[in-house]
């Protein structure tokens, strides 16, 4: 008969292996999702990730701006992200710790009716929280104003 300590080891060891593999996979996903280039200008936003993916949106196509505050997950180490997108398929994530550095607020203030105070309050919200800060008013049909 096996000693009790060996049996216990054989039962517990696989759990440690599974936990270690899971931790390594999370670390790899975070490395792949790291921002290697982030550019904000009068045309729009462009973000390149370490794994080669590109996120981009033109200001003319932006329909929503949201702030996601987080302490865990892929955006936790940045405090969260600003989600700027067309509301459907295209968009760009800006880590909260990069907002001032890339001049995002200056460009956001050019969106019609954008409320900077609401945006700042959303960035200061205790995580986890997702806050819609701005939504474009529906455009008139036929392109008329």
Q: What pLDDT score was predicted for residue 115?
A: 97
Q: What is the rounded distance in angstroms from the CA atom of residue 15 to the CA atom of residue 143?
A: 60
Asked if residue 1 has pLDDT above 60, the reply is: no
Q: What are the start-end ranges of the H helices in the chain? A: 4-32, 104-108, 116-123
Whole-model pTM? 0.76
Sequence spans of domains, the chain: 33-137
Arithmetic mean of pLDDT over the chain: 86
- Domain 33-137 -> CATH class: mainly beta
Instruction: Give the model confidence (pLDDT) of 49-92 as tens digits.
Output: 999 999 999 999 999 999 999 998 878 888 999 999 998 889 99
Token pair belonging to 99 = 């907002």
Contacts with 125 (C-beta within 8 Å, 6 or more apart), sequence order: 67, 69, 131
| 73 contacts 29 by C-beta, under 8 angstroms | no
Instruction: Give the model confidence (pLDDT) of 8-18 as tens digits.
Output: 767 776 776 67
Q: What pLDDT score was predicted for residue 99?
A: 96
The 44-49 sheet, strands edge to edge: 35-40, 44-49, 54-58
pLDDT band at 31 (very low <50, low <70, confident <90, very high): low
User: Residue 118: is it exposed, middle or buried by C-beta count within 10 angstroms (0-12/13-18/19+)?
Assistant: middle
pLDDT band at 29 (very low <50, low <70, confident <90, very high): low
Q: What pLDDT score was predicted for residue 5?
A: 76
């Amino acid at each position: 008969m096996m000693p009790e300590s060996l049996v216990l080891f054989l039962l517990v060891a696989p759990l440690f292996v599974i936990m270690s593999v899971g931790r390594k996979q999370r670390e790899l996903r975070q490395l792949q999702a790291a921002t290697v280039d982030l550019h904000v200008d009068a045309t729009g936003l462009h973000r390149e990730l370490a794994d080669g993916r590109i996120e981009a949106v033109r200001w003319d196509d932006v329909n929503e701006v949201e702030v996601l505050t987080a302490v865990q997950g892929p955006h936790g180490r940045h405090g969260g992200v600003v989600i700027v997108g067309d509301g459907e398929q295209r968009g760009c994530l800006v880590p909260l710790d990069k907002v001032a550095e890339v001049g995002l607020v200056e460009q956001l203030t050019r969106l019609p009716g954008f409320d900077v105070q609401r945006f700042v309050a959303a960035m200061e919200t205790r995580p986890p929280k997702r806050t819609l800060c701005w939504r474009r008013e529906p455009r008139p049909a036929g392109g008329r104003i």
